[in-house]
């Protein structure tokens, strides 16, 4: 019962990236969370591979999620909302041949954008301790070239991510970012870790890569405290919050379980939970019932 087609959502994302405000995309890992993001009034939503690994497998983000699993999951998420879904596509799940299929699957799923990174396989969450090893420069660029060539909908947004900053240095990350943009990437994502110079790094990345810039807003306290109104001014076009839903849920669920364990009942803790009416409203039950009445 959604009204916007995948093509319309992709066009909308491109319009937003050219706007005067940063595009904020809270991170979710399933359709319910995507509905809540849309209901809250955000213009885009992000699906984190880390969160998908947690919710579908119950394991950390260490390269266990494959293309079939995440693209199938993304299809359900993308089709439940009218706002663009941006999705983590890890390393493209293999070489340039695999990247071609990755593009096909995510386009067919109705996703508006994916990001492909240059980590070696099996990948690992970039925000975990330690540096991530990356493939050589030529292979990284060829993957982005392959993604661009494999794209069938010209409005599908290709985001090229480099994790080279921690392992090979920030200058190498910039070199890869420039090359990704030259290869046809619509957005460049330089994965950074928390450091005192992170805002300076972001400004340099925006100045030098020659494309819209995506930033992981979970990368430390400086970015977590950066207001949306200030983000665009330093060069952030798209800000993703990968840990948003998984961290909120993990904390809230743990608190609720602790209360139930300690008190033997939900009791007054229900004041911290949706009631049935709120839950059904979040899922759009009224529109389903109106649709039923239309044909009754």
Residues 100 and 127 in one domain: yes
Residue 140, pLDDT score: 98
pLDDT score at 265: 95
**Residue 188 within any structural domain of the chain:** yes
- pTM (two decimals): 0.95
The answer on 184 and 281 residing in a single domain is no
Q: Residues 87-109: pLDDT tens digits?
A: 999 999 999 999 999 999 999 99
Q: What is the CATH number of the domain that holds 114?
A: 3.20.20.60
> Are 241 and 259 within one domain?
no
Q: Are residues 73 and 210 in the same domain?
A: yes
Query: What per-residue confidence (pLDDT) applies to 291?
Result: 93
**What's the mean pLDDT in 64-77?**
96
Span 206-223, mean pLDDT?
96
In a domain, 1, yes or no: no
Give the pLDDT band (50/70/90) at residue 121: confident
Domain boundaries, position 47: 6-245
Determine the pLDDT at residue 2.
62
52 and 161 share a domain? yes
Residue 19 and residue 78 in one domain: yes
Q: Residue 1: is its pLDDT beyond 70?
A: no
Tell me the average pLDDT across 161-190.
97
51 and 129: one domain? yes
Q: Domain check: are 225 and 262 in the same one?
A: no
Give the pLDDT confidence score for residue 78 in this predicted structure. 97
Same domain, 257 and 133: no
131-141 burial by CB neighbour count: b if 16+ within 10 A, else e? ebebbebeebb
What is the tally of structural domains in the chain? 2
Kindly state the average pLDDT of the residues 165-175. 96
* Mean pLDDT to the nearest integer, 72-95: 97
């Amino acid at each position: 019962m959604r009204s916007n087609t995948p093509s319309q959502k992709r066009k909308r994302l491109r319009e937003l990236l050219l706007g005067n405000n940063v595009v904020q995309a809270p991170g979710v890992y399933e359709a319910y969370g995507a509905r809540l993001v849309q209901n809250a009034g955000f213009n885009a939503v992000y699906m984190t591979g880390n969160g998908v690994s947690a919710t579908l497998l119950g394991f950390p983000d260490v390269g266990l999620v494959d293309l079939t699993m995440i693209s199938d999951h993304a299809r359900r998420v993308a089709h439940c909302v009218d706002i663009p879904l941006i999705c983590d596509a890890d390393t493209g799940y293999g070489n340039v041949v695999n990247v071609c299929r990755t593009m096909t699957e995510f386009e067919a799923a109705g996703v508006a954008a994916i990001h492909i990174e240059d980590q070696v396989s099996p990948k690992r969450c970039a925000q975990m301790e330690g540096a991530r090893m990356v493939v050589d420069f030529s292979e990284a660029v060829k993957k982005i070239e392959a993604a661009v060539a494999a794209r069938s909908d010209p409005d599908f947004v290709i985001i090229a991510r480099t994790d080279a900053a921690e392992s090979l240095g920030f200058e190498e990350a910039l070199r890869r970012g420039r090359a990704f943009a030259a290869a046809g990437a619509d957005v460049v994502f330089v994965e950074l870790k928390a450091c005192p110079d992170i805002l300076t790094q972001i400004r340099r990345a925006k100045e030098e890569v020659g494309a819209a810039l995506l930033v992981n807003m979970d990368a430390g306290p400086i970015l977590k405290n950066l207001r949306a109104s200030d983000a665009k001014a330093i060069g952030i076009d798209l800000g993703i919050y990968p840990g948003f839903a998984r961290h909120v849920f993990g904390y809230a669920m743990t608190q609720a379980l602790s209360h139930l364990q300690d008190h033997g009942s939900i009791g007054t803790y229900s004041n911290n939970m949706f009631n049935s009416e709120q839950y059904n409203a979040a899922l759009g039950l009224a529109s389903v019932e109106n649709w039923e009445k239309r044909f009754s």
